[in-house]
Every structure is written in structure tokens, then in C-alpha cells.
Structure 1
């Protein structure tokens, strides 16, 4: 499954990629330096994915679904918890005992979140929106991921319009930091 298509197809592809990264991390022995590299990769992907969802998916959920405000608020709460875990994980050496604890917590929370989106939110959105609207959302999500931050910023705004205004600038700074440090270029 490649990137492209409607918003559900795009985000589901992201979910599979994150799941593969989690599997690779879990397959490595504790303390392996490659676990740090893969944790950075999964963080980059999750942050980009979350920023795109917050900018476009959740506003669509609020607009098109009955109970959409409560559903979007719950999703944003899930994102905030995951982002804080990623922030706590940032910079920890893979042989630090907190690394494995935080990685296991992140993996568990993200897997639960992805399952919930795929079983509940996505089918409801597909039923409520036209194919053209879903395709348009997919295009917007792909564009947002290209300029999104790559590092967790727990105190950054997570709702429009502030998140749409600040994310590209923050993303540029993050990508410059990543390029200088080599972060995300491992394995």
C-alpha cells in the first residue's frame, strides 16, 4: 500500500509504516543503538501524521460527524499524551531504563489509537463524506506532512487556525536541526 488516495487510505498507509517501525524496534535487543535511531524515525512519522490529522482530519470530523466535537477532542487528547511520551523519550540513550518503559508505553498507546481510528472514526467519516471530499482531505494531509514538524512540541497549538500557521515554520526549524544532526537518517 503506497501513499496517495483519499484521506483514509493515506492515513492507513501511515499506520502500517508506524507499525512496521514498532516491530523493528521490538525485534532488537534492549540497549541496541539502532533502537534510538528507529525511535527517532517513529517519532518523526508520528509527529508529521499527528500534525496533518490535527490540521485537516479532526476539523472534518467536527464538521461531518454527529458527536464530532467530542470525538475530535478525544483524538486530540490521545495525541497530546503520545506527544508528551515522545518528548520524554527524546534524547534518552537506548540503554537508559526509562527508554524501554517509555517506548513500550508509546507503542501501546499508539496501537490502541490506530485501531480505534481504523475501526470507528474512518468508517464513520467514509459514510459521511463524498469520495471527492475524502480525496481532497487526502491531498491536504499529504501537503501538511511535507512541511510538518518532525519533533514533539507538546505546548504547540493543536487546533486551527494557530496550528496551521505555526506548523510550517516549526517544521522548517525541525528539519534543519535533523539535517545538521543526522537525525532520522539511520537504518
Structure 2
């Protein structure tokens, strides 16, 4: 492999060689219970295929070090998203709790994408081989995920298409996270000076507020800004508490 991002295709899918456990499943009332947080069925102990409990702590139980670098901060956010997936699966289908958790997930994913575009992508362009191609691929992912989030926001929990959209969301976010953690983050850590990573981690922490509290303005034209306009009605003009 030459380290460059592979080709993708389809509105909610990819072509080329992706993670081996990202197979599609039909969406139905129980579909979310069958899809593990990484796009594959969880085993009976709740572990994810291809990862040990040592390098993948249980959902909601991971702790980010106080001075984590950028990769540590983003990885901790991935685990928080993982925990929301688990909560959505456990919520009764068609009920208000699943919708509430889906709204929480929308807010968290919006902030996470904004953080990646603000802090990760410029550093990838500078320090990673074929960085521009990686950023283009990341932004395409964000566009696909944003489209599915709009579908989720537009539908009530009793709508069968709501569950179908949630299944698509789990799959797309899972593929995105896997590629970042298995391919992009190692390249980022190898190519970027540690002090730069630590500085970027500090900047991300300084920007962070609870995921349901708007903060802004995000960089003009970013996926975070576009999604805030689509889902919340407008991009925030400034920080609100």
C-alpha cells in the first residue's frame, strides 16, 4: 500500500478496500441492535472485532489524560460517540428516548467534525504525505454524514425511515472512525512533532464546551457550519452559555 486514501463511491457507501467488517444489513426495527459500534456485530462480551479490551476500553469508560494531545482528544471523542451509539441501540424503537439520543448525537458529531476541520485538517495538509488527498477524503466523509444527520433530524422516531437513517449513520461514522484511527492518526503522529500535537490538543480543549451548547463561529464553509445551518436553522454568531 502506498499510504494514499482509497477511492470511495456511493452516497452512503465506499468502493475499494475498506475495513473488512463493514458489511451492510437491512434496516428494520431491530437493526440497530444487530450493528456493533464499529459497523459489525458485537460479540457476546461486547468487544469489537479486531480490537482487544486493552486498546479499546469499554464505551463510556475511557478517560482522556488531562494534557492529551490532539490525537488523544479526538480518540476520546470517538469513544463518547461510541457510547451514544450504544445508548441509541438500547433505547426502545420508535420512542422519544431514541430520538433524544439521536439529537444528542447530531450535536456531538457536528462539534466533532468542526474540531477536525479546525484543528486536524490543517496539520494533516502540512505534515502527512498526500495530506491534501486525505483532507479531501475526510471532508467527503463529513458531507455524507451530514446528509444522513439531516435525514435523522427531519424524521420522527416512529418513522421506519428514521431507523434506516440511524443504521446508515452508524455504518458511515464507524467507517470514518476506523480509517482515522487505523490509518490517518498513525501517519499524523509519525509525521508531526509531538509539541505541535500537544499544542493542538490544548487548542481543542480551549474550544470545547458541552456538545449541546452552541459555540462559534465555526470556520466559514466548514461542514460544521453548514450542518448547524441545516439542523439548527442558523450558524451561531458567537459563544453562548
| Distance in 2 separating the partners of 1:146 and 1:90 | 22
| Distance in 2 separating the partners of 1:18 and 1:53 | 14
**Deviation of residue 32 (structure 1)?**
1.7
State which drifts further: 100-109 or 138-147. Answer: 138-147
Greater relative contact order structure (CA < 8 Å, 6+ sep): 1
Instruction: Identify the match of residue 123 of structure 1 among 183, 186, 198.
Output: 186
**Which of these two proteins has the greater Rg computed from alpha carbons?**
2
Q: Secondary structure at the match of 1:90?
A: helix
- The Cα offsets for residues 101-145 of structure 1, whole Å up to 9 and x where unpaired, read as 111100110011001100011111111111110011112222334
Greater helix percent: which structure?
Answer: 1
Q: 8 Å contact 1:31–1:95 — kept in the other structure?
A: yes
**Deviation of residue 3 (structure 1)?**
6.2
Name stretches of at least 5 consecutive residues in structure 1 with no aligned partner: 177-187
2:138 aligned with 1:51: no
2:86 aligned with 1:40: no
Name stretches of at least 5 consecutive residues in structure 2 with no aligned partner: 1-62
- The residue number in structure 2 matching 1:157 is 221
2:88 aligned with 1:25: yes
Q: CA RMSD in A?
A: 2.8
- The Cα offsets for residues 30-88 of structure 1, whole Å up to 9 and x where unpaired, read as 10210001001111111001001001101110111110000110001001110111112
| Distance in 1 separating the partners of 2:221 and 2:200 | 20
For normalisation by structure 2, the TM-score amounts to 0.62
- The residue number in structure 1 matching 2:147 is 84
Q: How many residues align?
A: 166
